[in-house]
Copies of this chain bind each other. A is one copy, B any other.
Amino acid sequence: MCELSTLTVRIGFGKLGNIGSAPLLEFLLDERAERKDIEVRIVSSGAKMGVEHAVDVAQKLNEFKPDLAVVTSPNAALPGPTKLREILISSKVLTIVVSDSPAKKVVQDIEKAGAGYLIVEADAMIGARREFLDPAEMALFNADLFKVLTVGGVFNLLWQEIDKVIQSIQKGQAPTLPRIMISKEKAIEASGLNNPYARTKAMAAHEIARRVADLTVEGCFVVKEWERYTQLVAAAHEMMRAAARLADEAREIDKAEDMILRTPHNDEGTALQKRKLLEKPVKPDIAPH
């Protein structure tokens, strides 16, 4: 019964560029700033993700002496993100790469290097054309994407996998780093959605979000005529908005049955569980479910 949180685990987040999985990632671990078992630092170079940025970010992270590093970026196969994780890995820091679909081509390299990865297929590239993407459009795309990733279970999977590593470190065990391609089925499994139609709606949202990338890639890298690519990336963002609406619909269904799964972290870093709004969260091993 006596759980001594004898070790504070130090987690360093290194962020290069932006993907939907990144901006809220550290808060997913400690949503009410209550955890006493972790100490967190984030270092980022903002939108830029060059090799020189990677070096600088890695260095600052290393100065924090993290037990665990989580590095986020689009396309982890690019030189910058590659450099970032290489420096960390060579510094003997446990490293988890969080990235999007284009990163699939380096997951074997990552694995060989002894690092973990969480590849978020639904974390689609934004429609980054100057005729279309301004600060407002960027923020709205992220807001829609957050809804899909949250309700569809991706965010759950991210923090749960990181939490597992934290717990291993705390217990002095050799952590098994996660190596997961987060597909629609894996995500929905982690979503905790109760109603089966809520689950299928969230899965539909996931799939639509994933397919957003088809249009943004076509619009950003294939089509050259500006009138055409502007429409393609605009259509892609409409897809994401539709996906967010489906995700919202899914969650509302679980609300209507008072079956929203809530998994708040307590101050020791344990994710408690509850379903009914008006009940107390309990530790998972004693949760009815």
Residues of chain A having any CB pair with chain B under 8 Å = 13, 15, 17-18, 23-24, 26-35, 39-49, 56, 60, 63, 128-140, 142-144, 146-147, 149-151, 155-156, 159, 184-185, 188, 195-197, 199-201, 203-204, 207-208, 211, 214-215, 226-228, 230-232, 234-239, 241-246, 248, 251, 253, 255-258, 260-266, 271-272, 274, 276-281
Whether A278 and B227, one on each chain, are in contact in the complex, defined by CB atoms closer than 8 angstroms, is: yes
Stoichiometry, as copies per complex, reads 6
A137 to B265, CA, bound (A): 12
Q: Is the interface of A mostly helix, strand, loop or mixed?
A: helix
Whether B143 and A150, one on each chain, are in contact in the complex, defined by CB atoms closer than 8 angstroms, is: yes
Whether A246 and B256, one on each chain, are in contact in the complex, defined by CB atoms closer than 8 angstroms, is: no
Whether A47 and B23, one on each chain, are in contact in the complex, defined by CB atoms closer than 8 angstroms, is: no
Known: A40-B46, A142-B24, A230-B278. A136 touches B207 (CB 8 A): no
Whether B43 and A31, one on each chain, are in contact in the complex, defined by CB atoms closer than 8 angstroms, is: no
Known: A203-B231, A231-B203. A135 touches B31 (CB 8 A): yes
Whether B41 and A44, one on each chain, are in contact in the complex, defined by CB atoms closer than 8 angstroms, is: yes
A278 to B229, CA, bound (A): 10
Whether A41 and B43, one on each chain, are in contact in the complex, defined by CB atoms closer than 8 angstroms, is: yes
Whether B281 and A130, one on each chain, are in contact in the complex, defined by CB atoms closer than 8 angstroms, is: yes
16 contacts between A and B (CB under 8 A): A23-B24, A24-B139, A27-B46, A27-B135, A33-B48, A33-B49, A35-B47, A130-B266, A131-B280, A136-B155, A137-B262, A142-B143, A195-B255, A227-B278, A242-B245, A242-B246
Report the minimum CB–CB distance from A189 to chain B (whole Å). Answer: 11
Known: A195-B256, A246-B238. A42 touches B44 (CB 8 A): yes
Known: A43-B60, A45-B41, A253-B255. A203 touches B235 (CB 8 A): yes
Whether A207 and B197, one on each chain, are in contact in the complex, defined by CB atoms closer than 8 angstroms, is: no
| Pick from B17, B128, B262: contact of A132, CB under 8 Å | B262
A139 to B24, CA, bound (A): 7
A28 to B24, CA, bound (A): 16
| Pick from B47, B156, B215, B278: contact of A207, CB under 8 Å | B215
A182 to B119, CA, bound (A): 33
A236 to B140, CA, bound (A): 21
Whether B258 and A195, one on each chain, are in contact in the complex, defined by CB atoms closer than 8 angstroms, is: yes
Whether A34 and B135, one on each chain, are in contact in the complex, defined by CB atoms closer than 8 angstroms, is: no
Q: Which residues of B contact A211 (CB under 8 A)?
A: 207-208, 211, 214
